[in-house]
Amino acid sequence: MVSCGSGVAVGFDLSRTAVIAASRAMTELSAPPEFACIFVRAANPADVADALSAAQRTIGARHSIGCSSSHGVIGGGHGIEDVSAVSVFVAAGPELTVRSFHLEVMPTPESIAVVGVPPIEPDDQVTIVLADAYSFPVEGFVEQSAQSLSGLPMAGGLAVGGLGSGSTRLLIDDRVVDRGAVGLVLGGTASIGAVVSQGCRPVGNPMTVTSCDGNVVLELAGRPALQRLEDLLRTLSPSDQVLAGTGLQIGMVHDEYADHHEQGDFLIRSLVRVDSERRALVIADDVHLGQTVSFQLRDADAASHDLHHTLARWSEGPTPAGALLFSCNGRGERFFASSDHDVTTVREELGGAEVAGYFAAGEIGPVAGRNQLHGFSASVVVFENESHSVV
């Protein structure tokens, strides 16, 4: 059986704070840890580096990863924003296999290459990646993960240091680095799942893209895309019309062979702008002819409902041992009126399991079987209290 522990501490002496958080996490374990994840919120990169190292020394895990968070950390049932804090997650159990890796970017005659990608084994289940937002091409890496990581589900997030470019610090085992990405490959007979809540609800009916140009949707179901949007807006309630002014998104289906398209089948992308001259919609991703899309609205109620819905599969059966939570830095107090919303919801749906993580500048997670880079989402890795058979 997998056991998990989490600990969080707040204080200006980051090294001491890290030791306290790590010690609290370790008290929850029934065996030496197989791995640790450490998250530090502080402005000074030197303080972050010292805290990462201090927590790792306290834990003594063979495999550890960690990162800066300019916004805040998650742990102890709370989201902690805009103050110096450290959050630690540890897991133990003979059912777990763990490999750590450091991804670096190297120049090539044509462009760049990512080196350090780990080989994938048959019993691997989930990859966790923490990437420096400034020095690592995370979007391209995630897009290529079907090949580079053999389609293994990936979760994690972008890390940003408190002083911008060059100030991010990452932990890989017992080393602190200032660029690239760090990660873990988790597997074995333990059951580990990765899910993403994108925080939107569909409005109107799904429609087929009948004309497009890259990321410009020209026609939906044979009519100008802007006209389809105008028609939809007239059918919305006054409150939803106001919300559409700031919270309108586009959901894109990637599995066109499904008989029905439900909320979790849509990859959510922002509506960038309206092209009035072409009566078109410009969105934050490329679309293709024949793709099914849906207008979506994002607000606190929709995001809360979607997170509950995403985690509902674990509400019955054995209580999971723990979870890692990578929550968008826009989903804290300014959105939900409480920094604790996401971690409270995850703990509630997982029966009070240990939960730790951080507020990320972009989240990684699978949607409809494909790894994606998201915004305004919550990506969750769940460690279940049961085993699965490895063929």
Cα dihedral sign, 270-163-156-147: positive
pTM score of the predicted model = 0.94
Is 118 in contact with 126 (CB distance < 8 Å)? no
pLDDT digits (tens, 9 = 90+) for 105-155: 998 888 889 999 999 999 999 999 999 999 999 999 999 998 889 989 999
Report the percentage of the chain scoring pLDDT > 90. 85
pLDDT, residue 28, reads 87
Q: Measured between alpha carbons, how far is 274 from 97 in angstroms, rounded to an integer?
A: 49
The mean per-residue pLDDT over the stretch 15-26 comes to 98
CB atoms within 10 A of CB 252: 24
pLDDT band of residue 260 (cuts 50, 70, 90) is low
Lowest mean pLDDT among 43-47, 243-247, 258-262, 372-376: 258-262
216, pLDDT greater than 80: yes
* Closest alpha carbon to 346 in 22, 72, 76: 76
The mean per-residue pLDDT over the stretch 205-234 comes to 96
Q: Measured between alpha carbons, how far is 21 from 38 in angstroms, rounded to an integer?
A: 9
The mean per-residue pLDDT over the stretch 357-383 comes to 95
The mean per-residue pLDDT over the stretch 192-204 comes to 93
Structure tokens at 87: 């959050």
The mean per-residue pLDDT over the stretch 51-58 comes to 98
266, pLDDT greater than 90: no
Domain ranges (residues) in the chain: 3-197+303-387, 201-297
The mean per-residue pLDDT over the stretch 192-208 comes to 93
CA within 13 Å, CB half, 156: 28
263, pLDDT greater than 60: no
pLDDT band of residue 391 (cuts 50, 70, 90) is very low
Average pLDDT for the chain: 93
pLDDT, residue 386, reads 73
The mean per-residue pLDDT over the stretch 59-81 comes to 96
pLDDT, residue 259, reads 54
229, pLDDT greater than 80: yes
pLDDT, residue 277, reads 94
pLDDT band of residue 389 (cuts 50, 70, 90) is low
Own/partner pairs for 112-117, CB < 8 Å, 24+ apart? 112/137, 114/141, 114/148, 116/180, 117/148, 117/149
In angstroms, what CA-CA distances link 146 with 151, 188, 292? 4, 20, 22
The mean per-residue pLDDT over the stretch 278-306 comes to 94
Q: Give ∠ CA 2-310-121 in degrees, rounded to 5.
A: 45
Find the DSSP H helices in the chain.
Answer: 14-26, 45-59, 138-143, 145-148, 225-235, 238-247, 300-311, 333-336, 341-349
